[in-house]
A and B are shown apart, each in its own frame.
Chain A
Amino acid sequence: MRKLLALFLLLSSPVGAEEAAQTDKLVNLVHQDCGSCHGLTLKGGLGPDIRPQSLSHYDIDTLSTVVLDGIPDTAMPPWRPLMSEADAKKIAEYLLQGDVK
């Protein structure tokens, strides 16, 4: 579905194509780099399970704050040095919904 959506956006406008590429990059980051602790399928590793059913107690704002600032005294690092607030929000949305809008 993600690829289809990306293709659709790619065809629709140059701005859309850029956005789709950025979304793909974020989804890749979640699985590959968040995945180094949370697992490639996000079902947990050294870090906890972060699939939608395990995150249901979070709202988007709280979750994007966790992504940006990390959780002190745990292995969860702050990602603020590496991403914008808008990107963190997109990641939070993706984690809560299990897909991109």
Chain B
Amino acid sequence: MKWLPGAILAILMIGNVQAETIIATGDLGLVVERASGSLLLVDQSEKATISRITGLGDLSHASLVYSPDQRYAYVFGRDGGLTKVDLVEKSIANRVVQAGNSIGGAISDDGTLVAVSNYEPGGVRIFDADTLELVADIPTESKTIGLVDAPGRRFVFTLWDEGETWIADMSSGTPLVKKISGMGDNPYDALITGDGRLYITGLFGEDGLTALDLWEDDPEPIRVLPEYGRGQKELPVYKMPHLEGWARAGREFVLPAVGHHQVLWIDETSLEETGRTDTYGQPVFAMARPDGRQVWVNFAHPLNDTIQVIDTLSKKVVHEFKPGPAILHMEFTPRGHEVWVSVRDAGKVMIYDTRTFEKRGEIDAESPSGIFFTSRAHRMGL
């Protein structure tokens, strides 16, 4: 019996070591469970759930960004909640309700400021990433959309009602705002390219997009494809498309059309049209695999059970499949070998190989929407 106390001691020590095990967060991610106000902490390599984090309020249309060390996520809820989540402790580190109705946010290039874009009251509020204390308030008197970070501790965002883009320079600590009017009628979302140079807004109220070259001291609106739908009957849009910084495919950008069942291709330098691809429905996300070789597209209600995969070289649909009812989001692994797909009404996140299109796994989730891997921490605009 002499070995027994030793064995117990050994077991206790193992327990102790496990509790202090270093958790690396580089291949983790969070899945938004939109109806239950919770997040799933997931392991992208293991294709498994680690933990569920609850108490985040109304997470419909929620999005999040990561701190540069990939330890914290800043979650932007529809109800104006800004929640800082600790991935290592698997818990909420801090939470403030900063507005009545908000629509996404961004983190500054140096990781010290978190900005939130609000519908009600319209504007952008900027918080200390450490404490979530208010640093600056920029009212716009309009619904604000397309908030992204830009190099030089700047935030760029656009006014839905006025068609203006504002660039808020926070390098001195207090906002210096530059306003650019004439962006177009009802801009609905925007993206910034991975190099931080181009800011592109999609327009709902008229055909086309508007780009700004942020390398210019005084950027002027550049109209892109101003007449892409000309002569064609507009189809009803049951869900606004999203733009995200995943749109560069090779030397082109690929973007969803509005009111037409198409994705549009434009040359990254000239911003001239290089082609269009007819799609199954109104595209919501058109996302390039990280290597740019494929573009994955999902669609608005009622055609939201289908994904099409477009080959970048031929611009042709090479694969079409139906993962399940209400596909809301797709997220590629950082090097693009797999893609995670949230299928809201199936209560699943499904995982596919992007070369063979075979299903590699699935995890259970309650009404899953956005999927966010921590690799986003090191990409501008995400």
A-B interaction: yes
CA distance A36 to B326 in the complex (A): 12
Q: How many residues does chain B have at the interface if contact means C-beta atoms less than 8 Å apart?
A: 26
Q: In whole Å, how far is B66's beta carbon from the nearest beta carbon of chain A?
A: 24
Given known A-B contacts A39-B60, A45-B101, A45-B119, A75 and B238 have beta carbons under 8 A apart: no
CB of B236 within 8 A of CB of A81, answer yes
Tell which of A41, A70, A82 touches B302, judged by Cβ atoms closer than 8 Å. A82
CB of B344 within 8 A of CB of A32, answer yes
Tell which of B60, B160, B205, B301 touches A46, judged by Cβ atoms closer than 8 Å. B160
CB of A78 within 8 A of CB of B236, answer yes
Query: Is A44 an interface residue when CB atoms closer than 8 A count as contact?
Result: yes
Q: In whole Å, how far is A39's beta carbon from the nearest beta carbon of chain B?
A: 6
CB of B236 within 8 A of CB of A75, answer no
CA distance A95 to B326 in the complex (A): 23
CB of A33 within 8 A of CB of B239, answer yes
Interface of B is mostly: loop
CB of A33 within 8 A of CB of B120, answer no
Query: Is B35 an interface residue when CB atoms closer than 8 A count as contact?
Result: yes
Query: Which of chain B's residues has its CB closest to A40's CB?
Result: B60
Q: In whole Å, how far is B134's beta carbon from the nearest beta carbon of chain A?
A: 23
Given known A-B contacts A32-B344, A39-B101, A75 and B119 have beta carbons under 8 A apart: no
Query: Is B305 an interface residue when CB atoms closer than 8 A count as contact?
Result: no
Q: In whole Å, how far is B188's beta carbon from the nearest beta carbon of chain A?
A: 7
Tell me the chain A residues, 4-53 only, with Cβ under 8 Å from chain B.
32-33, 35-37, 39-41, 43-46
CB of A46 within 8 A of CB of B119, answer yes
Q: Mark B205-245, 1 if CB is under 8 A from A, else 0.
A: 10000000000000000000000000000001111100000
Query: Is A77 an interface residue when CB atoms closer than 8 A count as contact?
Result: yes
CB contacts (< 8 Å) of A70 on chain B: these are 236
CA distance A43 to B57 in the complex (A): 14
CA distance A77 to B234 in the complex (A): 11
Query: Which of chain B's residues has its CB closest to A70's CB?
Result: B236
CB of B78 within 8 A of CB of A40, answer yes
CB of A46 within 8 A of CB of B35, answer no
Q: Which A positions have Cβ atoms within 8 angstroms of B?
A: 32-33, 35-37, 39-41, 43-46, 70, 73, 75, 77-79, 81-82
- Top 6 A-B residue pairs of the complex, sorted by shortest distance between their CB atoms: A40-B60, A77-B236, A33-B301, A36-B239, A78-B236, A77-B237
Q: Which B positions have Cβ atoms within 8 angstroms of A?
A: 34-35, 58, 60-61, 78, 101, 103, 119-120, 143, 145, 160, 186, 188, 204-205, 236-240, 301-302, 326, 344
Query: Can you report 7 residue pairs joining A to B where beta carbons are below 8 Å apart?
Result: A36-B239, A36-B240, A36-B301, A39-B61, A46-B119, A46-B143, A46-B188
Give 10 A-B pairs besides A40-B78, A46-B119 with Cβ atoms closer than 8 angstroms. Answer: A36-B239, A40-B35, A40-B58, A40-B61, A45-B119, A46-B143, A75-B186, A75-B204, A79-B236, A82-B302
